[in-house]
Amino acid sequence: MTVNHDHIRMVEALLSAAKEPLDEVDLAMRLPDDADIPALMEALEKYYQHKGFNLVKVAGKWAFMTAPDLSWLLQDEKESIRKLSRAALETLAIIAYHQPITRTEIEEIRGVGLSRGIMDVLFEAGWIRPRGRRRTPGKPVTYGITEDFLIHFGLDDIRDLPGFDELKAAGLLTTEPSGLFDELTTRDDPPALDPEEEED
């Protein structure tokens, strides 16, 4: 190969970092004047033709793209991750901070009804579990977080979640506390197990 090795490296770097395919004019503008772009591209195209990604020309522009025979590798991952909805995130956070907690209490804190789907999603993620029943009329089920939750969020212990003051100090909270939930948020002890509660 007679092409300049430095020029090859430059084209490689440019095409690797480019946010869109580059045409030969784009490349010529960035490379030294004596660079023989067509020869470089020919050499590179050949060089990458049997790699996991190839240099391809689409609509007159060059880009590195996954080898067509390997595209199956990228397939099923695309759908495997879902984001939690805001409502689900909030519900999860409330359960984590206030566990054991009943459905009604969650609704009370959020100020809106809890749709069935939300709890389902959190169950599916394996992050919450029923913990027992509150010994109050109706014996409502209480919920808490799971070990998977701790593992996922890298916490040793549920007590490691920052408290209200620390959230504030970290700039995550902007308003003053309402005082409504003082006993829940500012106590420095770990939320003790609800004595009224039977663990299952």
Partner 1 sequence: MADKGGLFDQQKGFEVDHRPEPPKNALVVDLDGYEGPLDVLLILARDQKVDLLQISILQLAEQFLAFIEEVRKLRLEVAADYLVMAAWLAYLKSKLLLPQEEEEGPSGAQLAERLAFQLKKLEAMRGAAEKLFNGLVTGQERLLRGMPEGVKVIRHSKFDCTLLELLTAYADQEDRKGIRNPLRLMRNAVYSVEAAMQRLERMLGKLPDWVELSAYIPDNITDPFTRRSAQASTLVASLQMVKEGQLELRQREAFGPISVRSKSGETSGSDEEDI
Give the interface with a second copy as residue ranges (CB under 8 A): 8-19, 30, 50-53, 64, 66-67, 70, 73-74, 77, 103, 116-117, 119-120, 123, 130-133, 138-139, 141, 154-157, 159-160, 162-163, 166, 169-172, 188
d(C-alpha 192, C-alpha 200), whole Å:
16
Q: Which two tokens stand for residue 13?
A: 């770097």
Interacting partner of 198 out of partner 1, a second copy, none (Cβ under 5 to 8 A depending on kind): none
d(C-alpha 48, C-alpha 139), whole Å:
67
- Counting every residue written for the chain, the total comes to 200
Tell me: cis bond preceding 100? Omega within 30 of 0 counts: yes
Residue among 51, 57, 104, 151 that touches partner 1 (CB under 8 A)? 151
# of chain residues touching partner 1 (CB under 8 A): 85
Q: In the Cβ-directed half-sphere of 33, how many Cα atoms lie within 13 Å?
A: 0
Is the distance from CB of 134 to CB of 102 less than 8 angstroms?
Answer: yes
Is the distance from CB of 55 to CB of 44 less than 8 angstroms?
Answer: yes
Nearest by Cα to 161 from 94, 96, 108, 84: 96
Closer residue to a second copy (CB): 103 or 110? 103
Interacting partner of 138 out of a second copy, partner 1, none (Cβ under 5 to 8 A depending on kind): a second copy
Interacting partner of 24 out of a second copy, partner 1, none (Cβ under 5 to 8 A depending on kind): none
Interacting partner of 159 out of a second copy, partner 1, none (Cβ under 5 to 8 A depending on kind): a second copy
Cross-strand bridge partners of residue 188: none
Residue among 121, 132, 142, 144 that touches partner 1 (CB under 8 A)? 121
Tell whether residue 143 is a contact of partner 1 (CB under 8 A).
no
Tell whether residue 87 is a contact of partner 1 (CB under 8 A).
yes
Cβ at position 72, least distance to a second copy in Å? 10
